[in-house]
Structure 1
């Protein structure tokens, strides 16, 4: 039987964290004779080499290669590519793991759409992963019609012949961002990239001791030297203009501006902050024209302008102001309707624990150079954000607590401008109703309800709640989508969560009245509250989310 997928796992001293990776690879729904697993041990000094050798002796689909330490993951991945026999090559890190059907689903999706690259939905356990990219399936994605550039880790499936035809391999040796160089070129040269979003394929895991390679402090000079190499790839395969600016914007936004914002900056040692800032300033003035920063959100534009002007102290002051901004979401209605759980809520931003207010009625004006001072920066952000109120969005996601798998739920929302005093300032309140489909709750466990709001330069999430005790809706359990689903309020914070298939043992008895309980001798008879939805929702996985054109 031809090998469909070769899974390449670079390995260096993972210890016990490799076990979840191994287990997930052996549980794959793809038949064992249709995929292979290649562990490339990069000079581990723990017990991992012996563990992997024993595994390979017992499992015909597993191969283990040993080499001297190369300093990073690039060379082990390249050795894996050269050894691979599969039609596709999938890269997995030794402390991460796959969904049980990941290889089968990604391979089938990729071959169905002739993809050179297949990007599977990711979940982050203590690690950030792209969110907007996985809002829906993209069978034919490009860097122009989908936010592909937001996902530059190598944890994807690549057609082996494509890699060989264009001679694509990872940069080797001790370095950073080798995956950015590799994945960016793959995106720009692929005939097609397919994004599979209706199943969590890859679980990106932060170790309990935060010892993952990507969490170690990096040398700013070396890091931004490697970042320039990724920019070189963009320059090689694009022409000057809006597309190149938009791609460059990803590195300005993610690798520079976001590192200089709010608590993320303030948590760093003071001397390290300044060292990072100095390297970022050099890249900005050397490589980015005005069109790159112009496409950022208001708060990001301020940081980028201050960075270009080499004004670190003002960046720090702006970060201290932003650190006080948070999202709040208040539940207003939770009830079963026709097989779905209808969740009503309102959401708004706060600053220093008070509702955030904005200057209303001011037309948008471009940021003409760096703001004069902190007050000017805040005033411009306030006015520009108010002018963008019509772009504010609200979403509700359900996230499984143990695995971090999450899914967007359909939401309808309105925007309300609420006067906030006599000086013309207003608050923006989003009123929303979400329809939670039990079919999205694909496994037993506790699923938390999270609200996500995009406004101006902020995209923040928060748990839905707390719900005031006196006005707290108490819907019963329902048998829906093949699952028993019980909405409940967590203790002590009163956030909305969904118990699927009695993961917590809750019975939902809080809404019973005393006259519903009967006693007979030493026994009590209590009716279990439940709802039988009028329209049963579709079974899990019967229909994927909407597909992008």
Structure 2
């Protein structure tokens, strides 16, 4: 078979961090003879070279190229392109990993749309990834109709013939932003770019030791010299005007203004902060016209104006004020309706821990240049925010805790202006209701099993901020019952430490509350069993029951039907009376009867058949000796944990 995709992985001393990458590449759904993996070892000095050679000996689709250390990722990627046989090449970093169907989905999507570049949805584990770009699929995206320029990392799929035709390769040597130069030119010269957003293809990982190359402190002079090369690409392939300004704005915003804002700026040592400011000031004055800054958010425009005016101290002062601004989202009612979890919330910005207020009757003019002082800057931001009240938005995202995959949920919201300070000022509160449908919550598909945290995202004025939904007080914490929809059991709950809303998908057992069912509420009439369960179901739902006695077990069908108010479900089943004889038979429920790997939830009762029919009995409990042994193990575990903590503290 022709090779469809060549995956190129530059490698340098990853240690064990490469294992997730390797495993994901070997798990790909694309048939093994339709893709290849090329590891380019850039002079690693750990055990990685031997590990890769052994991998290549075991798997025919794996190739390893060893070379002397080149200092950065550009040359290894170019070497990989030269060795590639695939129709497309895909770049993966050695500490990241792919979704299991990434290559197959991205290749098929690229071929279907005639794409020179295919961008798969990204998830960040401990690091940020583009959000707006992946709201929906873009089969034909350009720098004009989609925020492509927000994604300049190389972790994409490129048609190899396209790279060869235009002679595009990565800049080499020890340098920064080689990916910006490469990807920007690809975007501007491609016939088509396709964005796949309905499946997480690439997991961007921040290592526990924070030693990813992109997280290391850089030399400002060299960094912004390399950044100018990316700007050169923009100017080579665009004409002066709105498109060029839009592209320039990406570097002005991300690489300059955002480095001079809030806690990110204040955390830097003063001498490094000054060196960084001076280099940024030079690029801003030298390369950007007024059109680039004009499209920034208000707070960003203020910082850009202060940078251009060479007012480093005022940039720091404005950053100190901005650190006081945060988002707060308070939960309201959480309930199941027609198979969807409906979440009410109220969100607003705070300043210094208190609700942020704005002038009720703002005055002032447009910002035409740098503000005369920070007081004027704050007043202008407040007035501009009031003018934008009508465009403020509230959204709710679900983010999978282990992978970072995130998806927006449908939200309806209203804007409420609340008087403050005797009518001289006002607050803006966004009241929203989100609908989480377990059948479609992950971009139109059911979410994977795991823990999903709820995040609220608000756009207002010059900010886009997000926070967890919560906290709620420890006393009386309850988030409602679990729902069974589309074979998924979804339990809303409040996290133990922060009291923030999260969803447990197909993992919870005891927290579902099934164990609270009293056996006397379970009835058997003839061969028909009936039991109330604390589960929401949108309609009659088929389940599977498993009856286990000793070493024998067998399954039978059951049905869950919603109660009149939808808060619970009635389990109904026709019992195989003739098989329920002898010892007590434990009962468990499988919410997804057609699942390849069925999951059973134990119910707190058992059945015993006899001459008088089937009787409900309490679920057999472990013997006294076993219960005491379990308790002893728990106590011993706590003692060991305390001893380990004390030893760790003593060593410090």
Q: In 2, are the aligned partners of 1:488 and 1:508 still within 8 Å (CA)?
A: no
Tell me how far 1:506 sits from its aligned partner.
4.0
Alignment correspondent of 2:38: 38
CA contact (8 A) 2:478 2:493 kept: no
Structure 2: gaps spanning 5 or more residues: 522-529, 542-591, 593-652
Task: Number of aligned residue pairs: give it.
Answer: 529
CA distance in 1: counterparts of 2:531 and 2:501, whole angstroms: 25
Does the C-alpha gap of structure 1 residues 286 and 336 become closer, same or farther in structure 2, counting only changes over 3 Å? same
Name the structure 1 match of 2:644.
none
Whole-Å separation in 2 of the counterparts to 1:510 and 1:315: 57
The answer to whether structure 1 residue 532 and structure 2 residue 537 are counterparts is yes
Paired residues for 1:502-541 under 5 Å: 502=507, 504-509=508-513, 517=518, 528-534=533-539
1:217-261 per-position Cα deviation (integer Å, ceiling 9, x unaligned): 100000000000000010011110111111100000000111111
* Residue 496 (structure 1) shift: 0.9
Is residue 446 from structure 1 mapped to residue 454 from structure 2 by the alignment?
no
Q: TM-score, normalised by structure 2?
A: 0.79
TM-superposed CA distance for 1:527, in Å, is 5.7
- The alignment yields a C-alpha RMSD, in angstroms, of 2.0
User: Corresponding residue for 1:175?
Assistant: 175
**Structure 1 unaligned spans of 5+:** 540-549
1:151 & 1:123 partners in 2: Cα distance? 12
Taking a change above 3 Å as real, the CA distance of residues 266 and 88 of structure 1, as seen in their structure-2 partners, is same
| Matched residue SS, 1:274 | helix
Q: Quote the Cα distance in structure 2 between the aligned partners of 1:27 and 1:101.
A: 8
1:509 Cα shift? 3.3
Q: What are the residue-to-residue correspondences of 1:309-348 with 2, within 5 Å?
A: 309-348=309-348
Any idea what SS the aligned residue of 1:28 has? Answer: coil
Deviation, 1:469, is: 6.0
1:492 aligns with 2:485: no
TM-score by length of 1: 0.93
Q: In 2, Cα distance between the equivalents of 1:109 and 1:332?
A: 41
Q: Distance in 1 between matches of 2:249 and 2:515?
A: 52
* Higher RCO (CA 8 Å, separation ≥ 6 residues): 1
SS of the aligned residue for 1:16 comes to helix
CA contact (8 A) 2:478 2:494 kept: no
Please state if 1:467 is matched with 2:472: yes
Q: Is 2:224–2:283's contact at 8 Å kept on the other side of the alignment?
A: yes
Q: Name 1:230's counterpart in structure 2.
A: 230
Query: Deviation at 1:505?
Result: 3.6
1:123-162 equivalences in 2 (<5 Å) = 123-162=123-162
1:203 is displaced (CA, Å) by: 0.4
Q: 1:437 to 1:364 in 2, by over 3 A?
A: farther
Q: Greater shift after overlay, 121-130 or 419-428?
A: 419-428
- The equivalent of 1:543 in structure 2 is none
SS of the residue 1:152 aligns to? coil
Residues 472 and 331 of structure 1: is their aligned pair in 2 closer, same or farther, counting only changes over 3 Å?
Answer: farther
Contact persistence 1:365–1:384 (CA under 8 A)? no
Question: Which of 337-346 and 423-432 deviates more?
Answer: 423-432
Q: Report if the CA contact (8 A) 1:474-1:510 is conserved.
A: no
Conserved? CA contact 2:28–2:100, under 8 Å: yes
Preserved contact between residue 4 and residue 86 of structure 2 (Cα < 8 Å): yes
Deviation at 1:419, TM superposition (A): 1.1
Aligned partners of 2:400 and 2:406 also within 8 Å: yes
1:83-141: CA deviations, max 9, x gaps?
A: 11111100000000000000011111111111110000000101110011111111111
Secondary structure at the counterpart of residue 438 of structure 1:
coil
How far did 1:442 drift? 2.4
Distance change >3 Å, CA 117–CA 421, structure 1 → 2: same
Alpha-carbon contact 1:364-1:384 (below 8 Å) kept: no
Distance 2:201 2:327 in 1: 29
Equivalence for 1:546: none
In 1: Cα distance, 2:364 partner to 2:175 partner: 42
Show CA shifts across 1:353-378 (max 9, x none).
Answer: 00011124437842121111111111
CA shift for structure 1 position 216: 0.7
What's 2:415 paired with?
415
**Contact (CA 8 Å) 1:363, 1:387: kept in 2 or not?**
no
